[in-house]
Structure 1
Amino acid sequence: GYYIQMSEGNKRSYVSKRRQQNAEETRRRILASARRLIVSKGFGGAKIEEIANEAGVAVQTVYSVFGSKRGILLELHDHLAAEADLTALQAALAAAEGNPPQQLRERIAFNMRYYARGADLIEAARSASGVDQGLQEMWERGEARRLERFAELVAKWDRDDVLVPGLNRDEAVDIWWALVSPDMYRLLVLERKWDEKRFADWVFGKLAQLLFG
């Protein structure tokens, strides 16, 4: 009886694991399909039926996994942060405690990873902002999150009294907002063809001087 129970337990565990892997693969396929269609057609032009068809799943599957097209878009946005390794950023910031320039470098490195992986989707959201409600929402959500996260870091530096004398928090955040923006990345890396290391080093040099003196 013991061996039969063990065997049945292993089988259930195996089936459960396979089911989970299949669900994750389905999710990935839907996200990849949605991303291609949203980038090429815009949020409004990408239909759930097309997304499902390209992903090789039923329309109902898309709805059951994401709830709505907006749900897909928000997950795509969160997926970019995961791909850029937000967890690694948080660990790196903690490890660089007491070393503001290194924390600045780590923050810039995260943004570079984020922009490199999401350039197509970010550009679609930027260019459609104000026209396409779904993409505008994604753009605003991304920019608000970028602002909030850096504002937290600036507030800490301000409390530790490491900012340039006379530089207030809001101004420090605004300087970051402008220099480490998807727009600046697009202008210098995508359009002027700077390599990413050159861009990251340039941004760090400017910001370190403006923030810390």
Structure 2
Amino acid sequence: MTVKRRYESAHRQEQARLTRRAILDAAAVLFVDPGYAATPLTAIAAKAGVAIQTVYKVFGSKQALLSALVDVTVAGDDEPVALPDRQFVADIRALSDPRAMLTRYAQHLAETHARMVHVMLALAGAATADPDAAAIWRKHLDQRRQGMTMFAADLAATGRLRPEHTIETAADVLWLAMDVRNYDWLVRQRGWTPEQFQHWYVDTVAATLLPPAA
């Protein structure tokens, strides 16, 4: 009986995970087109193939669903691992050369932007008119700023920042350069390759923050 209960519990957990994923996938499509404001939760439920009560049970509200979608889209998964604890951060911190650190981050950035550009642009657009979306967009901007302040501190620890830059001003530069709208303009609209975007990011940020190469 114990084995059976464990099996049933594992099965329920897997079903709950799949249901949550289906709802998030539906939201990722419909919040982009026709858009957040134009998409009722009933439409999300229908596309996900679940009852509307299930959507409310899993997420509680439309705003909470949008917030969860942004978090999952940025992270790339639904695992309870904070971004500062993820592998790409450890990879960056294992490096001692600031340009190499920027190069590793650029790789992560291009991968992340390719995954999240549609959702984040939809969120930015919705934030101009919807208070709930605006609050989530503001939260996203604040989290970006916190992450880039951490990155700026790691770069400063190498002792290679240009003398006119503090951690705060370096974080400003990093925060601006990593904006998803840069990726949208250069890659999606102008046809750059992700590799060209990465080179642009590294060259631009290094030219601003680091002394000229010897």
Query: TM range, normalised to the smaller chain?
Result: 0.7 to 0.9
Aligned to 1:89: 88
| Alpha-carbon offset, residue 171 of structure 1 | 2.5
SS in 1 for 2:184: helix
2: CA distance between counterparts of 1:135 and 1:108?
28
With normalisation by structure 1, the TM-score equals 0.88
Structure 1's unaligned 5+ residue stretches are 1-7
**Compared CA separation, residues 101 and 163, structure 1 to 2 (3 A):** same
Structure 1 position 19 matched with structure 2 position 18: no
Structure 1 position 39 matched with structure 2 position 32: yes
SS in 1 for 2:192: coil
Aligned to 2:22: 29
2: CA distance between counterparts of 1:182 and 1:148?
16
Q: Deviations over 1:152-188 (max 9, x none)?
A: 2213433543211222333322222222211211111
Could you say which structure has the higher helix fraction?
1
The range that moved more, 11-20 or 152-161, is 152-161
The range that moved more, 124-133 or 155-164, is 155-164
| Alpha-carbon offset, residue 61 of structure 1 | 0.9
Aligned to 1:186: 184
2: CA distance between counterparts of 1:20 and 1:102?
41
Structure 1 position 208 matched with structure 2 position 206: yes
How many pairs align?
Answer: 205
- Say whether the 8 Å CA contact 2:28–2:119 is kept in structure 1: yes
2: CA distance between counterparts of 1:36 and 1:49?
14
Structure 1 position 152 matched with structure 2 position 134: no
- Say whether the 8 Å CA contact 1:42–1:132 is kept in structure 2: no
Which is greater in Rg?
1
With normalisation by structure 2, the TM-score equals 0.87
**Compared CA separation, residues 75 and 146, structure 1 to 2 (3 A):** same
Aligned to 1:122: 120
- Say whether the 8 Å CA contact 2:63–2:133 is kept in structure 1: no
1: CA distance between counterparts of 2:75 and 2:151?
20
**Alpha-carbon RMSD:** 1.9
- Say whether the 8 Å CA contact 2:26–2:44 is kept in structure 1: yes
